[in-house]
Amino acid sequence: MHDRLSFYYYRDSILHQLNPLTKLVLVFGLMLISFIFPFFWTPHILILVAIIPLIFVGKVKREYLNATIRIILPATMFLFVMQALFQPLGDRELFRIWFLHPTLESTLFAFRNAARVFAIASSFTIFLLTTHPRELMSDLTRRGLPPQIAYVIISTLQILPQMQAKAQTIIAAQRSRGLDTQSSFLKRVGSLVPLVGPLVFGSLVEVEERAIAIEARGFTSTRVKTSLHEIPDTNLDKALRWILIGLVVITIALRIWLS
């Protein structure tokens, strides 16, 4: 977990103004296409024609690059190296060092898989960089998501940073009393209890009060609730969603037709 517990950055861009559902459809559309489309270079082309333009449209180059270097690239590189070396595919060896002998087939397989994971992770990241969780939740609630689910997600987004701060305080406090958090394995296991105990019980105590508080504010009421701020859903959004759904259908049809 990082110091800043959210991906979102506000920018004035078309991508930021799109309806959250449209962006969600976009993410899942890209994911399905990169998995289903029966062509080796699909994920690579998707990165070129979809991911990179989206970064520029959304004006999140720096943030995306940052996330790529920190999270996506290490994971995909690891995936690529491990799969190229260890997938038992084909027999055309590229080279052999000791017991490592990547074949042409396993390297190609690893290349496609890594590109696929890279494309999907990138589209997740762009989605999170350009969509505020609160907006996503209020839009989905308006479309029929149970408000309780939205409550869970929004309130987790508030509780998690609080609890993380509390955890850091507890770790610091126990260390200053001389708790050993760095030496041998058994000592570290032993130090789990004095760290986790206060944190968990402290936060569970608040549950009952909060239940009474939200009950008093009509949490379980089944009436339709009005929302304070409206989230625009333009014709462009609707058109984009239908185009994406069409593309996915075409992809599935191609896959069935060609197999």
Partner 1 sequence: MDVISQNIVYFIIAIAILVILFAWAYATGRMQKDFSTMTWVLIPVAIAINGVIGYIVGQLKLPVFLDSIGTVLVGALCGPWAGALTGALSNFVIGMLTNPTDWWPWIPVAFFIGLVAGLCANAGFFKSWWKVVVTGFLIALTAATVSTPIAVYFFGGITSSGSSFITAYLLQTGQGILQAVFSTNFLVEPVDKISTAMLAFAIVQGLSRRFVARFPRPENVETEGGASQTQLFVAIGVVVLLILFAIFILSRITGG
Which parts of this chain interact with partner 1 (CB under 8 A)? 1-2, 5-7, 71-72, 74-75, 78-79, 82-83, 85-88, 99, 109-110, 113, 117, 120-121, 124-125, 128, 133, 148-149, 151-153, 155-157, 159-160, 162-164, 166-167, 171, 181, 185, 188-189, 191-192, 195-197, 199-201, 203-204, 206-208, 210-211, 214-215, 219-220
Please say whether the beta carbons of 29 and 248 come within 8 A.
Answer: yes
Of the two residues 117 and 247, which places its CB atom closer to partner 1 in the complex?
117
**Closest by alpha carbon to 141, among 76, 70, 228?**
228
Q: How far lies 178's CA from each of 171, 174, 184, 187, 230, in Å?
A: 11, 7, 15, 12, 53
Neighbours of 235 (CB within 10 A): 7
Of the two residues 6 and 227, which places its CB atom closer to partner 1 in the complex?
6
* Cβ within 8 Å of residue 27, ≥6 positions away: 123, 124, 127
Q: Following DSSP, what letter does each residue of 164-190 receive, concatenated?
A: HHHHHHHHHHHHHTT---SS-HHHHHH
Of the two residues 207 and 235, which places its CB atom closer to partner 1 in the complex?
207
Minimum distance of partner 1 from residue 81's CB (angstroms): 9
Of the two residues 31 and 52, which places its CB atom closer to partner 1 in the complex?
31
Minimum distance of partner 1 from residue 53's CB (angstroms): 20
Minimum distance of partner 1 from residue 177's CB (angstroms): 16
Q: Report the alpha-carbon distance of residue 105 to residue 147 in Å, rounded.
A: 49
Minimum distance of partner 1 from residue 105's CB (angstroms): 12
Q: Report the alpha-carbon distance of residue 225 to residue 155 in Å, rounded.
A: 18
Minimum distance of partner 1 from residue 36's CB (angstroms): 11
Of the two residues 52 and 73, which places its CB atom closer to partner 1 in the complex?
73
Q: Report the alpha-carbon distance of residue 168 to residue 150 in Å, rounded.
A: 28
Of the two residues 96 and 235, which places its CB atom closer to partner 1 in the complex?
96
Q: Report the alpha-carbon distance of residue 33 to residue 26 in Å, rounded.
A: 10
**Closest by alpha carbon to 27, among 97, 129, 168, 153?**
129
Minimum distance of partner 1 from residue 235's CB (angstroms): 29
Minimum distance of partner 1 from residue 255's CB (angstroms): 11
Q: Report the alpha-carbon distance of residue 60 to residue 51 in Å, rounded.
A: 12
Of the two residues 168 and 227, which places its CB atom closer to partner 1 in the complex?
168
